[in-house]
Structures are given as C-alpha cells and as structure tokens.
Structure 1
Amino acid sequence: MYDTYKQWFNDDHHFTDVKHVEKAAQQMADNQFDPQGMIDKMVEIIPMDKHDFRTVHPADLPEKCQE
C-alpha cells in the first residue's frame, strides 16, 4: 500500500494528511529485511522432499511472531 500511495492518494478525496502517509511509507521502507537472506533460504528449502510446513526466516523471527 505505502509503496504505491502516490498512484491513488488524493488530497481532495482522502481526509488523512499526506504527511502522515509519507511518514508511514518511509517507516515501512526503512524497516525491511534484506531479501537475499530469504532468497537463500528458499533455494535451500524448495528442493527438499521434506521440510517444515511453515518456515520463518530469519531464525529469531518466530519469537517475534508469537508475541
């Protein structure tokens, strides 16, 4: 949503100040993991005959998901 807001956000139509949307968009952009770690994990897991139903990566993320 935040990476495309400039395509759909209209000051005349939406009541949220564009500054708040831009701030949220920047926070989302700054708070992303490097995708290479997930790519490497997928390359490792996809060819396997057996693996966990769900794989959460990086390794410390399951704890955060359970909070």
Structure 2
Amino acid sequence: MISYLSKHGACSNPYAEVEHTCYHFEVKQEFLKGALTRICGLFVSPLVKNEAMEREVQAVDSEFN
C-alpha cells in the first residue's frame, strides 16, 4: 500500500485513537481505484504475522498508557 502511494505521488497518515484506527490517504483520482483495492486487501487478506500483530497492539496500547 505505502509503496503504491509513494510511486504515484500520494501520501498517507494512519493513526490510532482510543476506540478506532483511522487510515487517511490522498491520491490522484486516476490512482484511486488501485489505492482502494490495496487498502481493502489489508483487511481481506492481511499479510501480518501473529507475532508482528502482537507487537503492533502493544505499541498502540503504549500510546494510551
């Protein structure tokens, strides 16, 4: 996702809040379909291993403790 956005001059800013995570990105209209396909893929077929997910959960939790 990030490499696709970078390749097409776009930017992103995901962040976590107390009850949800926000995925914000900007991309030119001609690349929107490709960007949406890739961000949806993050939820449909995540590539994150369980160990990596645990580290991310701990990192996010530490932001609020």
The structure with the greater share of residues assigned to helix is 2
What TM-score results when the alignment is normalised by the length of structure 2? 0.30
Bigger radius of gyration, 1 or 2? 1
What TM-score results when the alignment is normalised by the length of structure 1? 0.29
